[in-house]
Structure formats: C-alpha cells, structure tokens
Amino acid sequence: MQTNTPPQPVHRGPFYRWVALVLRFRFLSILGIALISALAIYNIATKMRLDNSLETFTTEGSNAKKVLDEFRSEFGRDSVFLVLVEGDVFSEAFLLKLKSMHEALSEMQVELLETENLESDVQDTNAGFDELDDDNGWGDEGGGTIVDEIISLVNFRQTLSSEEGISVGELMDPWPTTQELPKFRQRALADKQIVNKFVDIDGRHTAIMVRTQVLKGKDKILAYDAVRSITKSYQGDDFRIGLGGLSALNTSLNRVMLEDMRTLIILSWFCMAAIMAFLFRHILGIVGPVSIVLLSALWTAGAMAALGLPMTMMSNMLPAFLISVGVGDSVHLQSLYRDLRRDGFKNHQAILQAAALTGKPIFFTTLTTMVGLLSFRFASVVPIQEMGLAGAIGVFAAFVLTLTLLPIFLSLNKSLFGMKTTTKNDFIQKLVVGANVLSAGTKTRRNTVLIVTLLLCGISIFGANRIRVWHNPMSWLPPGNELKETFEKIDKHLTGTSNIQILIESSSPEGMKDIEIIKGLEKLEEHAYAYVDAGTERRIVKDVTSLLTILRETNRALHAGDEAFFSIPQTQRGISDTLFLFENAGPDQLYRMVTNDFQKSQMTLRLEWLEATSYVPFSLYIEDGIKKFLPPQASVKLTGGAYLLINAVSNLIFDLLKSFGAALAFITVIMILLMGNLKLGLISMVPNLLPILFIVGLMGLTNIPIDMANILLASIAIGLAVDDTIHFLYHYKINFRASGDVNDAILQSLNQSGRAIIATSLILTAGFAVYLASSMYHLQRFGALIALTIFFAVSIDLVVGPALLRTFYKDRAKELPEVRSKAA
Amino acid sequence: MKKIHRFTMALALPVLILSTTIKAGATSAPLDALGIMKAVDNRKTEHSNRADLNMTIIDKKGRERTRTLLSQSIKFAEGTKMLMMFSAPADVRNTGLLSVDYDSSDKDDDQWLYLPSLGKSTRIASSNKSGAFMGSDFSYADMTQNDIADYDYQILEENIKVDGEDCWLIESRPKKEKLIKETGYIKTHSWISKNKFMPLQVKAWVKKGRKLKYLKFSDIKKHDDIWIAHKLTAKTVRGKSVLSTTVLLFDNLVINAQDVSDADFTQRRLEKGI
C-alpha cells in the first residue's frame, strides 16, 4: 500500500557513505576531477609518445632484446627510408628526375626538436674542447642535413680498375649521354651489387636508400614528413613513388593508428550516447555516462603518459574499449536510480540508495575486468603487458568516476527523469521474457539445454585443437594501403623488407680478419641463400651484407675489375690488405660491418616479408649452419626484425595460457568470495568459461589464427563475461536464501537483473562492433570476436546458468520473512 | 692568390708539411681577418721532414686501435710529396701510401697504395675528398690545400685565450656551395695564436649528418725557429656525444733532413717497404 511518506534508504555501506560525502562536498569533488583531468591533459601534451617499432614486441630483459641493444650500440640502427620509384628506370627523363630527387633528399634539412644526445654509451660526454665551457655545439648554424647516408643508382659506389690504377667513383659520374644509356643499362644490370638491390632486372623499379642520423620522438615524424614532402613533389605517372623501409613503417603506422583511434572514439561515443538516449530518454541519462567514459579514457591516457607507457598498436584499442566497458557501471547505477525514483524515492535518497545497492556488484565487476587485463602482466611481450596495465587503470577510473561524477550529475536532476515507465515494454524486456521462457519450465527443456551445451562444448574443443599461431602485422593494414603496397613491391622486385642479423664476436681484437672466420661466413652465406621456405616454396633470402660484400668488391677492384675476382682473397695477408684498402676508402661503411678493433662483426640477411612463424624453421636452419660452418673462435648471436618476431610468437601460446590461467584463477577466487559459497562460486565459472571455449573453438573451425592482437581476447572476454554472471548470481544467492525455491529464485533474479544484463551486453556488443569501422584488420577482427563472445556470454548466463542451477540446487525450507524482505 | 689549408692550415699531417714560423712585425699593425689568415699562410716552411707517427683511433665505446707509421714529406716545384709506411701492427706492416699534392687545383692529386699481398703498388684516384683518411677522424680534404680567396673570413673574437695564449677567433666560410660539397664543411672556427701565428684549435661544422669536428694542437715545440705541434687530437661529435677520436703523436721529428730527397718519393721506394 502506498503511503504519502517517501520511502527511506534501507541499505547503507561504504559506497553509500562515499556518495553522501561526494554530494556534500560537490564543488570540491568537481574541482578534484577537474584537477586530475588537467594533469592528464598536461601529461598527454608533454609526455605521450607513440611507438610502433618492431622492437616494442620484444620482451624487456630477454636475450633477444639484449642482443638487439648490443647490435645497435655497435652498428647502429637498421632504420632507413626506402624510396621506391617505378617507371622506365633507364630512360633519360627518368634518370634525370631520379638525380634531382636524390640531390633534394641528400640536402634534406629538418629543424630538430628532441634529438640531442642519442648516441648512448659514448666514451666521453665532454664533447668539444675540454676547456671550452660555453661551446654551444652546432648552435644556430643553418644547413647541415640529417642525412647520414644516401645511396641510389646516381651515386652507387663504383670501384673501377684501369691501367692507370683503381678509381673510386660514382656509378653515374660522369653522367651518361643519351647514346651511352643502353651501355649504362647493361653495365648496371650486370653488377651483382646493384641488380635486385637498387634496380630490378627489368629496369622498372629502383630505390633510393636514405639513412638519417638516429632521431628521437617527434623528430622521426619531421624526418618522415620531409622525405614525404620531397618525394611527393616528384610523383608522376612515369615516376610512381612509394615510401618504404623501417623508418617509414613506424611513422606511417603511428599515423594510421591515430586516425583510427579518432574514428573509433567518435563512433563509440555516438554509439554510447544513442544507447543511453534509448535506455534513459533524458538528457541527464546521457550526459553523465558519456562524460564518465570520456574522462576515464582521458585519465588513462594521462596515466600512460605519466608512467612512460607509449601508445602502440596494442593500446590503440583502449579508448574505445574503455568507452564500452566503462559505461556498464553507469547503466547499473542509473537504472536502479531510475527505478527507485519511480518507486517514489526523493532524488537525493534515490542516488544514495542506488549507490549503496549497486556499489558492491560494480566494484566486483570492475575488479574482475581489471584482473582480466592485469593478467597480461604474465605475457612476455611488453606492449601487451602495458596495454593490460593501462586498461586496468582505465576500468578503475571509470569505477571511481561512476561513484563520484554520476551522483553529482544525478543530483542536478530537478525534473521527472526516472519517473516514466515507457521502457517497460521495449525489446529488452521482450528478450528478458524470452530468456525466462527458455530457462524456466520442464526438466526436458533443461536437459535439452544442457545436452546442446555439451554438444557445442565438444565441437568447440575439436575446433580449439585446430587453432594455430600466425602473426603478420603487415596483414593488419588495409588492402591498398600505400605502405603495405610499397613493402610488397620492394619484396617482389628489389631487396627483402625483413631481416635477421647475425652478431659475430671473435675471441680477440683483429680476430674478424681471421681467414678461418671469413671462410666460415662465406659458407654460412651460401647456406642462407639456399634456404627454401616450405610455405611459399621460394628462396626467402634476398640479400646478404657482411664483411664478405666489402672483401669481394674490393678484391675485384684490385684485380682490374675482373669478375673472377669477385671473391674472397685466398690468403690471410690478402684479407688484411683488402680490408685496409677499403678502410682507407670508406670507413663509415666498414664500421657498419665491423667494430673499430675488428673483434665484432655483423651479417645482415634481408628476407622476404613473411608471417612470423614461417621464420621459425629458417632461424633453426641458420643456427644449424652457424654450428656447422663457423670455427670455435667465433661466438654468434642472432637478432633483427624477423628474429624478434619469432621470439615474440614462439611465446604466444604460452603467454595466452599464462595470462588466461592467472585471470581464471583470480576470478574463480573472487567469485567464491563474492558468492560466499564454494559450490555457487564454482558453478558460476561454467558460464564464464563456456563463452571463451566457444569463441576459441569457433576461431579454430573458421581458421582465425592466434596472433599478437587477439591473444588478448580470452582474458578480456572472461573479465567481461563474468560481469553478467556476477549480477545474475548475486541476485540468485539473495533470492534463494530468502525463498528456498530454486525456480522462484531464478525467475526473480532474471526479473531483477536480466534487464541490466541485456542492456550492458548490448552496449558492449555495440561498443565492440564499432571496431569494425577501424581501418586496421586486427582491430576489426578483435571487435567482432569480443562482440560475439559477449553474445555467447549473455546467452549462456540467461539460459545455461539457470539450467545448471536447476540441476545442482534443490528446493529447501524458506528462511525467515525478514531475510526475504531484506533481499527484496 | 695563395692557397691555404682547410681547417685554416691546422690539420694533422699538413702541419708536418707546412709548419709555421713567426714573421717579424706581423703583430705590429692591427690586422683584419683576411690579413691574419694571409699572415698565417705567408711564412717560411721547411723543405722536408720526417717523423715516426703514432695514430690511435678511439671509437665511441672507448676501444682503441693503434697504428704506427713512418712519415716523410718534401716540397717540390708543383706541390708536396708525402710517403707513409706502416710498421705496426703486423698485419699492415709495409703497407704504404705515396701521395703527390699539386698546388694547382687544375691538376688532380696522385696517390699510390702498396699492398704487400699484391706485390705492386696501385694508383688510387678518388673524387671524394671528404672521405676519412686511414679510417681516422681526418679527411683527405683536411690534407690538401685550398685557395685563400675561396673563403670569407670574419673575426669573431679579438681577444680569446686558449691554454693561456692570446688568440683571435676567426670564422671561415666557403664562398661557393661546391666547396662545401667537396670538403664536407659548412664553416670552421679557428683559434689563431697571436704569438705563434698558428691555429691552436679548430671547430668545423660537417654538413653530412650535422656533425662537428674538434681539433686540438698541443705539445707545441720549436724546431729551427718553426713552431710544430707534436700532438693532434680530433674528435667527431654529434650532440654532446663523441662518436670517434683520433690522436696523432709525432716522435723523432726531423725537419730539413739531409737524407730526405726526391728519390724517397717513388713507387719503387714505396714497394720496398720499411
């Protein structure tokens, strides 16, 4: 019977007290939120960095990373721009244009903003004259290009031999006349050092290699823009230019990523706003949740910047993820608030009561989602670890904001918001009724549900066994992407775009001149060239550069350019002399191959770009060759882009099991604690695990592989799937304790939580479906798979969950009436 | 117009070829930048010299590699001849280099290299003068002469001290872009001793890769009234990091030695070794 006195709050607790405090100090709370947001913006503006370099996929502290660092500190980075030009390479017009572009690139100037002191581990930081305290280094002198080295047909080093002696010059100096062009073409295409590296055998593709000084942060982007702007001005139908190379790859990926993130944030935001409008049909019902998710995304980005976590191809999914996940908290609180208002609660009391009742499940769902994300700390790949940490921070931020900002927004409600009952017959309600019908009723129907579930489990296990690891970040880029196409063309027509680098260390200084080591390297090189990839049935080693390259070229020059001497000198003194001659001519090139003391050297194998696991047998083959051919005085380590990927993917399945296992263990414990009952806690894990099993099974059956992006799927999905289970079983526990009637408790729980469960699941499904609008394939696929998992999770929660409860729980005597009224 | 060494005559080996002497009265009247450079250029130089040269190259990690060589030079009507033969380490012993540097820019310099494994000397021609000499921090361009008229000079500091000595600080800029391409330097700063009329240190702006080269001349001693630096240090620097350092030490320096003659600067002598 309705009285004139408004209902009073019956639940109090920590969340009640917190919200009461927030509402009392409303302006102070807003000021606090504003300050944190300002700090986040400051951190983003000053410290946020993007990092899409391949080495981000290495494990910090791993052997592969250490070797990479050692390699770079000795021989510098392998990051170059490769400007690919397509056209009639040996026509006069093309060559003149090439020359002009080559010159423009070699003069490229960039005002550096961040690069100062990048050559680390230097012997002495007191550069310049010791006593010159006020030396301002380069100062404000104009000029000075950031280009360290540029190589193309125009200036390719040519060591020629004639009766007069050896001359070191450039391929096109003197510039060939029109009549000389056919002969020049013949000469260039006959040179093993040039063909298929700087020009293809058909004379249709050529490349300019630009190596800049080592750059930092924004300077990399400036360099990319400078190269792009120069090359763009030469673009034409007869001179088609594509920008490739690792330097271009990283910057270009950063660009695509930022554009993508912007699209996803805007779409998620509108999607959320639309769903909120549908659910709450009031401006306040939209503004609160939408502000919360945006602020939580902002705080997360701020925390990432402050903690030095870069944005990577992994973390670019975070903002949209946080928008869809974070909104769930608001929906639960706001739904209950609306119901309480409808039941006659005054605004202030409705807010407090809603916070008191939803605080605990929201806290636990936050906790489980955080656990899912934090389980990535067990992964061995750094960007995945970092994404997990940042995501967990974001989810927590959404929780804090839901219990701070949302009550403040709701406290502004002076209208009838929440008093309408129009939503009671919408399609969400119809879905709840449908779930009731499926899960309720006869034993036969229950058994059918369980048998179908078991059957699906069997199929999924079969599918899960077929799942494979396959990782190719290039395949994430959309078809027609310029970078992707350029990489493919470079791979097809010129040198390889991936690499394995071999670091060789002799037992003593000058040891790299040892003829035994040199001959061993020669055999290893031959061994590498002979490898045929089983998948493509092609030889994947496109080029090998090492000391051998230098020895052969110089030895040929010393023997009047005779191609028969394009080989390694056969005596120890011959090797020393040849290296001496080269050192005299081009020490920069030499020191990219060998250290100053000739103790360490490197061999770079340029490989066709393949998906990561295809390189695994190749690296084993190379390791075998190293054992076979190199003498004991040489110790060898492997690194390079392809090798790093191999390392990352070989840990992938193990990473997945580790992170998922950790998430599973933590969540099981949380569920048992929350349910206060081992049996119910364990039953609750079935609807949590089944969606994961189904999705993994589906991936296996539909040939969707596990890669660096969707490895996140299982742990994130379990963190989300568990939310529905918590809400449903939490209500079931209270109802069953009160009524002792399984059927009644289930039906009541569906009525109480079903609507919010379906609403949040719809929000999450829509939120992740937004990823389909991404231009990056891995995000599209990730979004679709998560959306599907959530669909599985909600179906299982509302249909299989009740069927399980009916199987494992039996009716018992009703508890005292006051307990029941408390549960209600 | 007279020619002047790049690095305002300050670089390594040329110091042996063209060492400086004080000209009486050179400091009596105020000099402008060009005047100072002309005074530095306009001096008596030794006809020949001979020294044991110790060259240590230190990389960015502090690893050292030392080579010792016998160096001698002599002036002739058209320019300067120089012979260098390595004595250590063992794997380069008897490797040698003979160069003929013509004063006239119309004529290409000649260079012969003797590699014992070939058993004969080979003439080497390179258009790239900005390349490093023997893998050191000195370039071939540092060792060849340039026309004084090709540069603009400016006094940046009238009174500046280096190692307690009064100096002028002078900036030299090539007048033509071609010269920057040839030498690799955008500009140089030279600290010229007012007393010795020789540079005590030089800073050069390297266009390619925005590097800086710092040179220091120390252990300066007088031989037959000619000041000669016995230690040269060159550092290649980018930002605040030293990428590489070369230290040249001259021992047993003899100038105008009677036994150094034209006959010592032939291919046959080169092929004979030490």
Each residue's pLDDT tens digit, A552-577? 988 888 887 788 889 999 999 999 99
Nearest CA in chain B to A107: B208
CA distance A192 to A184: 14
ipTM of the complex: 0.84
Map tokens 């405090």 to a residue. A21
Nearest CA in chain B to A600: B63
Q: Which domains does chain B have, with CATH numbers?
A: 3-66+131-257 (2.50.20.10)
Closest CA to A584 of B126, B30, B71, B250: B126
Task: Say whether residue A558 is in contact with chain B using an 8 A CB cutoff.
Answer: yes
CA distance A684 to A805: 9
Categorize the per-residue pLDDT at B145 as very low, low, confident or very high, splitting at 50, 70 and 90: low
Contact B134 A122 (CB under 8 A): no
Cβ pair A540, A605 in contact under 8 A: no
Query: What pLDDT is attached to residue A130?
Result: 65
CA distance A693 to A798: 17
Q: Tell me what the pLDDT averaged over chain A comes to.
A: 85
DSSP alpha helix (H) spans, A702-798: 713-739, 742-769, 777-795
| Residue in A111, A124, A130 to test binding to B, most B beta-carbons within 10 Å | A124
**What contacts 24+ positions apart, CB below 8 Å, involve A360-365?**
A360/A13, A360/A15, A360/A730, A361/A332, A361/A726, A361/A727, A361/A730, A362/A329, A362/A332, A362/A333, A362/A399, A362/A402, A362/A403, A363/A15, A363/A399, A364/A670, A364/A674, A364/A726, A365/A328, A365/A329, A365/A722, A365/A723, A365/A726, A365/A727
Least confident of A226-240, A372-386, B22-36, B184-198: B22-36
Which of the two residues, A448 and A302, has the higher pLDDT score?
A302
* In the predicted structure, residue A298 carries a pLDDT above the cut 50: yes
DSSP alpha helix (H) spans, A202-346: 218-232, 246-280, 283-307, 318-342
How many angstroms separate the CA of residue A111 from the nearest CA in chain B?
A: 11
Mean pLDDT calculated for residue range A157-177: 77
Percentage of chain A surpassing pLDDT 90?
Answer: 37
CA distance A413 to A415: 6
B235: nearest CB among A127, A173, A588: A127
Please write down the HEC assignment for all residues of A562-594. CHHHCCCCCCHHHHHHHHHHHHHHCHHHHHCCE
Counting Cβ atoms within 10 Å, is residue A365 exposed (0-12), middle (13-18) or buried (19+)?
A: buried
Nearest CA in chain B to A105: B208
In this predicted model, what pLDDT tens digit does every residue of A39-48 receive, in sequence order? 999 999 998 8
Nearest CA in chain B to A560: B122
Q: Give the side-chain half-sphere CA count within 13 A for A723.
A: 33
* In the predicted structure, residue A301 carries a pLDDT above the cut 90: yes
Measure CA A363 to chain center.
Answer: 28
Token output for A260: 């993508």
Task: Say whether residue A668 is in contact with chain B using an 8 A CB cutoff.
Answer: no
Token output for A152: 């193309």
B226-257 in b/e form (b: 16+ CB < 10 A) is: bbbbbebbbbbbbbbbbbbbbbbbbeebebee
Task: Say whether residue A165 is in contact with chain B using an 8 A CB cutoff.
Answer: yes
Query: For residue A681, which amino acid is it?
Result: G
Ordered DSSP codes for A260-294: HHHHHHHHHHHHHHHHHHHHH-SHHHHHHHHHHHH
Contact A128 B237 (CB under 8 A): yes
Closest CA to A495 of A211, A191, A188, A196: A196
Percentage of chain B surpassing pLDDT 70?
Answer: 84
Closest CA to A350 of A21, A10, A13: A10
B186: nearest CB among A144, A173, A558: A144
Q: Which residues of A touch B239 (CB under 8 A)?
A: 115-119, 127, 137
A166: nearest CB among B62, B124, B205: B124
Name the maximum alpha-carbon separation found in chain B: 58
Query: What pLDDT is attached to residue B17?
Result: 32
Least confident of A247-261, B10-24, B72-86: B10-24
Q: Which residues pair with B233 in a beta bridge?
A: B216, B247
Q: Which residues of A touch B231 (CB under 8 A)?
A: none
Contact A144 B205 (CB under 8 A): yes
Closest CA to A548 of A564, A568, A532: A568
Q: Which residues of B touch A215 (CB under 8 A)?
A: none
Counted across chains A and B, CB pairs separated by less than 8 A come out at 178
Which of the two residues, B126 and A390, has the higher pLDDT score?
A390
Contact B91 A581 (CB under 8 A): no
Contact A583 B91 (CB under 8 A): no
Least confident of A31-45, A590-604, B124-138: B124-138
CA distance A187 to A197: 15
Cis peptide before A361 (omega within 30 of 0): no
| Residue in A126, A138, A600 to test binding to B, most B beta-carbons within 10 Å | A138
In this predicted model, what pLDDT tens digit does every residue of A630-682 receive, in sequence order? 999 999 999 887 888 787 777 777 787 888 888 889 889 988 888 888 888 88
Query: What pLDDT is attached to residue B167?
Result: 94
Rounded to 5 degrees, φ, ψ at A700 are -65, -45
Nearest CA in chain A to B95: A577
Q: Which domains does chain A have, with CATH numbers?
A: 11-47+259-419 (1.20.1640.10), 80-115+143-244 (no CATH), 426-465+651-824 (1.20.1640.10), 496-648 (no CATH)
Query: For residue A487, which amino acid is it?
Result: F
Closest CA to A503 of A543, A546, A551: A546
Query: What pLDDT is attached to residue A55?
Result: 67
Ordered DSSP codes for B102-128: ESSTTS--EEEEEETTTTEEEEEEES-
Contact B61 A146 (CB under 8 A): no
Task: Say whether residue A140 is in contact with chain B using an 8 A CB cutoff.
Answer: no
Mean pLDDT calculated for residue range A749-770: 83
Categorize the per-residue pLDDT at A352 as very low, low, confident or very high, splitting at 50, 70 and 90: very high
Rounded to 5 degrees, φ, ψ at B169 are -110, 115
Map tokens 């191959």 to a residue. A593
Task: Say whether residue A306 is in contact with chain B using an 8 A CB cutoff.
Answer: no
